[in-house]
């Protein structure tokens, strides 16, 4: 646990003191050639940067933070800040000023630095969607790509589990704090902490809420060289995750269905907005991931969304097959 991360945690935990104040103190400390630990420990620095009331609130949290850090250590939970060399460079570059100031994690930190593809999709996914998620996750896993997703039911669970049961790795990005994280029963027979990284950008004791889930989508996209959308209803969290990827310039690939299920109505909308179609080979039934792997290899960040003329380059060829039932020919 770095001293910088401890300092950020202390200020972020203080009542009525949030990320904006933490960034303000961070900038003040940098200008005055102080570390965050030195700034948080100095009443004069806190008052100069934040004012008396917020300075007192931050100082009052010191003993509570010590208690929380002891609890985290007992659970093998660690923390890094945006100042630390271990912080994922890609996340910092893609999110810029909105990058999480602190990341709490448990598991294999080396997965921050490997090629990754993100998955998003409905909790109430159809059987076709489950098959698409499983097939796609398997293809990437056997190609040596790490799978990133959000640990929700449905698509997330299938993507994570498929990676692990095929000997691959996976990164779980939570929409709540890590204090109450538990390995779900679904994963117990394949779980391996050396092949898993669980991360959270929220305070360790934070509970799940919809706003955090939306914010978490940006972190999933930020850690991924490309995003795979399996099924999304318009205005759903999965649809928002797809929009987040497009907004950030992360290549988005949406499963393209024949006789589109209601749970995938958002897929076509996102394809119209710039997502590429994810299809499968008509003969082998295997997902066609060459274009995704090209994005992984180049880790491309597009400055702007492709126009309608460019979208034709990503359309399915005559050899491609839209996602259908398992017996489709």
Q: Output the pLDDT for position 327.
A: 37
Q: Output the pLDDT for position 268.
A: 93
Q: What average pLDDT does range 201-220 have in this prediction?
A: 93
Q: What average pLDDT does range 217-228 have in this prediction?
A: 96
Q: Which of 12, 173, 8, 24 is nearest to 91 (CA)?
A: 173
Q: Output the pLDDT for position 324.
A: 57
Q: Output the pLDDT for position 136.
A: 97
Contact 158, 137 (CB under 8 A): yes
CA–CA gap between residue 65 and residue 1 (Å, rounded): 12
**pLDDT tens digits along 280-303:** 988 888 999 999 999 998 874 433
**pLDDT tens digits along 233-257:** 998 999 999 999 999 999 999 999 8
- In the chain, % of residues over pLDDT 90: 79
pTM for the whole thing? 0.88
Q: How confident is the model at residue 320 (pLDDT cuts 50, 70, 90)?
A: low
Backbone angles phi, psi at 8, to 5 degrees: -60, -40
Instruction: Count CA atoms within 13 Å of residue 289 on its CB side.
Output: 23
DSSP per-residue codes, 115-160: -EEEEE--TT--HHHHHHHHHHHHHHHHTTPEEEE---TTHHHHHH
Q: What's the mean per-residue pLDDT of the chain? A: 89
DSSP per-residue codes, 71-96: HHHHTT-EEEETTSTTS-HHHHHHHG
Distance of CA 170 to the CA centre of its chain: 11
Contact 236, 268 (CB under 8 A): no
Question: Does residue 85 register a pLDDT over 70?
Answer: yes
The secondary structure of residue 103, as a DSSP letter, is: E
Taking residue 27's Cβ as centre, other Cβ atoms within 10 Å add up to 11
Q: What average pLDDT does range 82-100 have in this prediction?
A: 94
Q: What average pLDDT does range 199-215 have in this prediction?
A: 93
Q: At what angle do helices 19-31 and 43-50 cross, to 10 degrees?
A: 120
Q: How confident is the model at residue 224 (pLDDT cuts 50, 70, 90)?
A: very high
Residues 96, 268, 164: CA angle, nearest 5 degrees: 65
Mapped to the 3 state alphabet, what secondary structure does 182-196 carry?
CCCHHHCCCCCHHHE
CA–CA gap between residue 297 and residue 307 (Å, rounded): 23
Distance of CA 229 to the CA centre of its chain: 13
Strand pairing report for 146-149 and 170-173: parallel
Contact 60, 14 (CB under 8 A): yes
């Amino acid at each position: 646990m770095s001293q910088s991360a401890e300092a950020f945690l202390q200020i972020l935990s203080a009542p009525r003191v949030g990320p904006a104040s933490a960034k303000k103190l961070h900038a003040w400390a940098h200008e005055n050639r102080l570390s965050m630990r030195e700034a948080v420990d100095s009443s004069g620095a806190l008052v100069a940067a934040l004012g008396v009331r917020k300075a007192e609130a931050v100082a009052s949290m010191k003993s509570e933070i010590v208690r929380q850090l002891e609890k985290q250590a007992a659970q093998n939970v660690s923390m890094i800040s945006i100042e630390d060399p271990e912080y994922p460079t890609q996340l910092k570059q893609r999110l810029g000023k909105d990058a999480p100031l602190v990341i709490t994690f448990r598991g294999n930190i080396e997965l921050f630095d490997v090629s990754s593809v993100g998955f998003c999709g409905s909790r109430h996914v159809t059987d076709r969607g489950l098959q698409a998620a499983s097939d796609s996750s398997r293809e990437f896993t056997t190609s040596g790509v790490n799978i990133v997703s959000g640990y929700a039911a449905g698509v997330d669970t299938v993507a994570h589990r498929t990676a692990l049961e095929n000997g691959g790795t996976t990164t779980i990005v939570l929409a709540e704090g890590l204090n109450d994280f538990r390995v779900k029963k679904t994963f117990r027979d394949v779980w391996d902490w050396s092949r898993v990284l669980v991360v959270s950008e929220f305070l360790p004791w934070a509970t799940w809420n919809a706003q955090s889930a939306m914010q978490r989508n940006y972190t999933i996209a930020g850690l991924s060289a490309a995003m795979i959308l399996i099924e999304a209803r318009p205005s759903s969290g999965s649809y928002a995750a797809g929009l987040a990827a497009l907004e950030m310039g992360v290549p988005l690939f949406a499963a393209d269905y024949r006789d589109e299920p209601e749970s995938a109505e958002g897929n076509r909308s996102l394809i119209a907005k710039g997502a590429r179609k994810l299809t499968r080979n008509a003969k082998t039934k295997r997902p066609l991931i060459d274009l995704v792997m090209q994005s992984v290899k180049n880790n491309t960040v597009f400055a702007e969304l492709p126009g309608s003329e460019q979208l034709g380059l990503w359309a399915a060829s005559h050899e491609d097959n839209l996602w259908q039932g398992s017996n489709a020919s």
